Amino acid sequence: MNTVESLPLAGAIPPEVLEQARAEAAQSQRPLMEVLEKKLGLAPQAFAAALGATVHMRVVSMAELHRLKPDFDSLPLTEAIQKHCIAVRDSENSLLLVCGDPFLPHLSPWAEERIAEPFFWVLAHPADAAASRAGQEE
């Protein structure tokens, strides 16, 4: 099992570890992100950083998510909840699409077709992304 000590600092998740996690998630019918985080044994923010390095995505913390402004015109909350992502605006008014699982099938093609305005993908820890969507629901 890989742990913090066996991952390079701010390094990507080794492909073989990702494939093992995919197989275990399929076999156990558990979410890939849950299996992968447990397999790596990293703290939440370290896990998000490793995941971001793996998929070449900027990672945002929960504190950063609180500073971003939801954009329900670009992506209504009901769709955001269904697709496990949320559209937000940063301080420069750039549109960001925040997701907690970059491996969700069909998410990228759907977003590219659904959202007319150019946007940037960003990654949040899965629990932070879910909490952000839940907070917007209120």
Q: What is the spatial distance between Cα 57 and Cα 53, in angstroms, rounded to a whole number?
A: 7
Kindly report the pTM of this predicted structure. 0.84
- Residues 107-138: tens digit of each pLDDT: 999 999 999 999 999 999 999 988 888 776 65
State the number of CA atoms in the 13 A half-sphere of 127 facing the CB: 7
Instruction: Answer yes or no: is pLDDT of 37 > 90.
Output: yes
77-115 tens-digit pLDDT:
899 889 999 999 999 999 999 999 999 988 999 999 999
Domains of the chain from N-terminus onward: 4-55 (no CATH), 58-137 (3.30.300)
Report the percent of the chain where pLDDT is more than 70: 91
- CB–CB of 70/85 below 8 Å? no
